[in-house]
Amino acid sequence: MSQFGNLVQICSQNRKGLLYAAGVGLGIIGVGILIKSLLKRRQRKLIQVGVVSQLCIYPIKSCKGVSVNTAECLEMGLKHGELRDRHWLVIQEDGHKVTGRQAPRLVLITASSDDVYLYLNAAEMEELRVPLKLSRSNSLKDCRVWGSDIQGRDCGDEASRWITRYLNNEKTFHLVQYELDMQPRRPHDTEKSFKPKDKIAYPDSSPIMLLSEASLEDLNTRLEKVVEMRNFRPSIVVTGCDAYAEDSWDEIQIGSTCLRRVMACGRCIFTTVDPETGVIDRKQPLETLKSYRKCDPSEQHLYKSSPLFGQCYGVDQTGILHVGDPVYKITY
């Protein structure tokens, strides 16, 4: 055999050996990953920490919530029938959001739906019907929500006149709807505690906000005039736990739904709007919360002077939620 032939044979034998070694190495790595995954799954424990007592969807940002017994927990928040959490928004002509902070009477508008229309009702106003599927001829609005840009489709002139007349303001307002093929907001862009995959339409920061009944009860022991859960607009309310226990629930499971705690909910003057009258107080319960629920000094860059009440969650696994479901804290 020529020298060239010997060289080819040697290379061929070495190549087979190298491929065999690489295959063995990859197999060992794969087995290691599998064992690690199985060990983690085996060590994963569920500890019941409470029970779901309320589920609430807020179709229009800052308007009245809709209490439901069952809801889908999707990546962008709760859904019941055709109602999706904070998928409608009131804006000014320039696209800036309008909330209960600037227009407290928004909290008195009731939203409901069937398969065709979103219905808006308010005192001394005729019922407004807004098609759930808007015409593509309706204009797209560039909206501004907490420093982030997001689109919304204008719900039409009739809806604009209705909102403007109800708010009794010299300005003109529009109602817009987020459509599922639009680009969502990514809270990770402004707060790195969120995952890049987390997404929202018009909520302040997260798809889910959770609060316990015990935390509200504790707050009310400190107030002259008690406030309601409606002042704080949680998506999920939990009973059967101690006050502020939710502060330590880093991961929870409800049914097949898995939620990940991202940050506390920093509170503002919106909490001082009376949900019965639509009148803003600007003092309570915010001032009382500030007296005992301030953040750690190391987190002042995040919360500034806002007191913390409730917890914001990202959705790691979607599922169905029911009032009465056990709430489990996930530990490892």
DSSP 269: G
185: left (phi over 0), alpha (psi -120 to 50) or beta: beta
What is the C-alpha to C-alpha distance for residues 295 and 304, in angstroms, rounded to an integer? Answer: 8
pLDDT value, residue 36: 57
pLDDT value, residue 327: 98
Q: What is the CA radius of gyration of the chain?
A: 26
Q: Taking the domains of the chain in order of start, what are their residue ranges?
A: 46-331
What is the C-alpha to C-alpha distance for residues 123 and 174, in angstroms, rounded to an integer? Answer: 19
Location of structure tokens 């991961």: 251
DSSP 96: B
DSSP 159: H
pLDDT value, residue 242: 98
pLDDT value, residue 105: 97
Distance between start and end Cα atoms, the chain: 63
One-letter amino acid for residue 131 of the chain: P
What is the C-alpha to C-alpha distance for residues 64 and 44, in angstroms, rounded to an integer? Answer: 39
Strand partners, 78: 73
Q: Is 87 exposed, middle or buried (0-12, 13-18, 19+ CB in 10 A)?
A: buried
One-letter amino acid for residue 77 of the chain: G
Tokens at 265, concatenated: 């909910």
How many CB atoms within 10 Å of residue 13?
A: 10
pLDDT value, residue 19: 47
User: Of 232, 313, 213, whose CA–CA distance to 272 is shortest?
Assistant: 232
Q: In Å, how far are 85, 123, 187, 188, 258 from 317, measured between CA atoms?
A: 17, 40, 18, 18, 5
Strand partners, 72: 79, 320
Contact indicator for 160, 179 with CB cutoff of 8 Å: no
How many CB atoms within 10 Å of residue 24?
A: 10
Per-residue pLDDT tens listing for the chain (332 residues): 555 455 445 445 555 554 454 455 555 666 566 555 555 555 899 999 999 999 999 999 999 999 999 999 999 999 999 999 999 999 999 999 999 999 999 999 999 999 999 999 999 999 999 999 999 999 999 999 999 999 999 999 999 999 999 999 889 999 999 999 999 999 999 999 999 999 999 999 999 999 999 999 999 999 999 999 999 999 999 999 999 999 999 999 999 999 999 999 999 999 999 999 999 999 999 999 999 999 999 999 999 999 999 999 999 999 999 999 999 999 99
pLDDT value, residue 25: 55
Q: Which long-range contacts (CB under 8 A, 24 or more apart) does 93-98 make?
A: 93/171, 93/172, 93/174, 94/144, 95/141, 95/142, 95/143, 95/144, 96/143, 96/144, 97/61, 97/143, 97/144, 97/145, 97/146, 97/202, 98/62, 98/173
CA angle 13, 14, 20 (to 5 degrees): 95
User: Of 23, 96, 30, 87, whose CA–CA distance to 61 is shortest?
Assistant: 87
pLDDT value, residue 43: 87
Q: Alpha carbon 32 to chain centroid distance?
A: 36
DSSP 247: G
What is the C-alpha to C-alpha distance for residues 33 and 28, in angstroms, rounded to an integer? Answer: 9
Torsions phi, psi for 301 (to 5 deg):
-65, -25
3-state class of 254 per DSSP? strand
pTM equals 0.87
